[in-house]
């Protein structure tokens, strides 16, 4: 007799910051493709993040639960994502979001038994209250972490982690964890996370999680028509000749750093695309409000060679274009994986949080990238940086060759029968039990 297996109903609760939400929704897409029904909890401002998924899945299988963003005295009204705030506002976000506990319990209580979720796949950052919601309904709580095992291993081992201690405890107490990495990249750290921090082996490595749809907006809407960017790239005669510069959703360079980078680009003579974050979006700053100031006359002088994008770029489309050869990056993990998948050499300028551990893994341990910056406060020497930028578009650099070998392993991992593919299958199977 055939075994009739019920597909799970998964309640997805992402953390509202692009670097977290984007891979969490990429994972959601994979779960939907495997036949699960999904409800995603968003607030009004983060609902558009689901647009691409909505265009690919029916409203019967992908449902949205929109709850009002809980007000907080230190978060301006209308702000519902961390990238609109300085990183120091993270504890306020945690406090505000924890007040979604009661409305979520209320929502689940009103569901008919047939619509009850089997599992909550929540952000690790929300685990202190998500675990409680799951316990209240005797369902599983599985945590998603958008980072790699090396970062988890390093961060969880640190002393004095203040409010992160609670997150880590709750994450390890959940039913299992899902990580956006692949086993072959860092087998020893995946094993170490299991043996040192978990009392079980339910650590699923499912990366590199690929974009839901090629060319679609990732997080925010591109501030330049993507066709304009691809036309510019198409007009570049040589493959791997363009440097892409982008520092993710959270980082804004100071005026001094911007000037040094502009000088380096000009001296290097390389072709480039530079995404400059829109300083006006930074609300309620508790830091000096340094803005990205492109030096006067720079764009005019480099117009034959460079394209400056102010705001949000179609990053994955750029990284995957044949003309792009290297990527000056802040080393956010999502961006690192996108660079690897896009076959570009990584030039690492880590800024904050896990960027440093990602650089240790990729540059120091795996020697698959080149370090060009130290931290959020460092100002690169324009002459030195110009040399690295010019060199970075050469084909035969050993770091590029090593990164391409890792890429091959990553691509294998997500193919049918690969380690990440199998872990996704296991994850779905565990959700149903």
Task: Tell me how far, at minimum, the Cβ of 405 lies from ligand UDP, in Å.
Answer: 22
Task: List residues near ligand UDP by CB under 6 A.
Answer: 18-19, 22, 218-219, 246, 248-250, 275, 312-313, 315-316, 330, 332-335, 338
Task: Tell me how far, at minimum, the Cβ of 150 lies from ligand UDP, in Å.
Answer: 15
> Which CB atom, from 41 or from 224, has the smaller least distance to ligand UDP?
224
Task: Tell me how far, at minimum, the Cβ of 218 lies from ligand UDP, in Å.
Answer: 4
Say how far apart CA 121 and CA 26 lie, in whole Å.
13
Task: Tell me how far, at minimum, the Cβ of 432 lies from ligand UDP, in Å.
Answer: 30
Strand 370-371 and strand 176-179: pairing? unpaired
> Which CB atom, from 216 or from 390, has the smaller least distance to ligand UDP?
216
> Which CB atom, from 141 or from 357, has the smaller least distance to ligand UDP?
357
Catalytic residue positions, numbered: 20, 118
Task: Tell me how far, at minimum, the Cβ of 22 lies from ligand UDP, in Å.
Answer: 4
For 201-248, what is the HEC assignment?
Answer: CCEEECCCCCCCCCCCCECECCCCCHHHHHHHHHCCCCCCCEEEEECC
Is 363 within 8 Å of 340 (Cβ atoms)?
no
Say how far apart CA 292 and CA 251 lie, in whole Å.
10
> Which CB atom, from 15 or from 129, has the smaller least distance to ligand UDP?
15
> Which CB atom, from 151 or from 419, has the smaller least distance to ligand UDP?
151
């Amino acid at each position: 007799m055939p075994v009739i297996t019920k597909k799970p109903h998964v309640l997805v609760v992402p953390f509202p910051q692009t670097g977290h939400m984007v891979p969490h929704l990429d994972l959601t897409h994979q779960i939907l493709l495997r036949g699960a029904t999904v409800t995603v909890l968003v607030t009004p401002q983060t609902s558009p993040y689901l647009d691409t998924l909505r265009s690919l899945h029916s409203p019967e299988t992908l449902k949205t639960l929109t709850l009002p963003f809980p007000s907080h005295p230190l978060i301006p009204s209308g702000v519902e994502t961390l990238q609109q705030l300085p990183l120091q506002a993270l504890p306020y976000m945690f406090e505000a979001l924890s007040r979604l506990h009661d409305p979520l319990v209320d929502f689940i209580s009103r569901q008919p038994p047939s619509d009850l979720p089997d599992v909550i796949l929540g952000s690790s950052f929300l685990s202190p209250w998500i675990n409680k919601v799951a316990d209240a309904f005797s369902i599983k709580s599985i945590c998603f972490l958008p980072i790699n095992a090396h970062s988890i291993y390093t961060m969880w081992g640190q002393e004095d982690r203040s409010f992160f201690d609670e997150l880590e405890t709750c994450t390890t107490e959940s039913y299992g964890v899902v990580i956006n990495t692949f086993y072959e990249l860092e087998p020893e750290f995946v094993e170490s996370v299991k043996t040192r921090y978990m009392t079980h082996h339910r650590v699923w490595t499912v990366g590199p999680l690929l974009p839901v749809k090629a060319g679609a907006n990732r997080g925010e809407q591109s501030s330049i028509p993507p066709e304009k960017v691809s036309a510019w790239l198409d007009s570049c005669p040589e493959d791997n000749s363009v440097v892409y510069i982008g520092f993710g959703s959270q980082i804004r360079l100071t005026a001094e750093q911007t000037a040094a980078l502009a000088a380096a680009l000009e001296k290097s003579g390389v072709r480039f695309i530079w995404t400059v974050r829109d300083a006006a979006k930074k609300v309620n700053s508790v830091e000096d409000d340094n803005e990205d100031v492109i030096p006067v006359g720079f764009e005019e002088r480099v117009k034959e060679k460079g394209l400056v994008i102010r705001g949000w770029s179609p990053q994955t489309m750029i990284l995957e274009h044949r003309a792009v050869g290297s990527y000056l990056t802040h080393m956010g993990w999502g961006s690192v994986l996108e660079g690897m998948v896009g076959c570009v050499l990584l030039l690492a300028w880590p800024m904050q949080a896990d960027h440093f551990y990602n650089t240790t893994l990729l540059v120091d341990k795996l020697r698959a990238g080149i370090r060009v910056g130290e931290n959020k406060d460092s100002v690169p020497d324009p002459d030195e940086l110009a040399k690295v930028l010019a060199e970075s578009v050469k084909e035969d650099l050993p770091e590029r060759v090593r990164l391409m070998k890792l890429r091959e392993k990553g691509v294998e991992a997500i193919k049918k029968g690969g380690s990440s593919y199998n872990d996704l299958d296991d994850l779905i199977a565990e959700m149903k039990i």
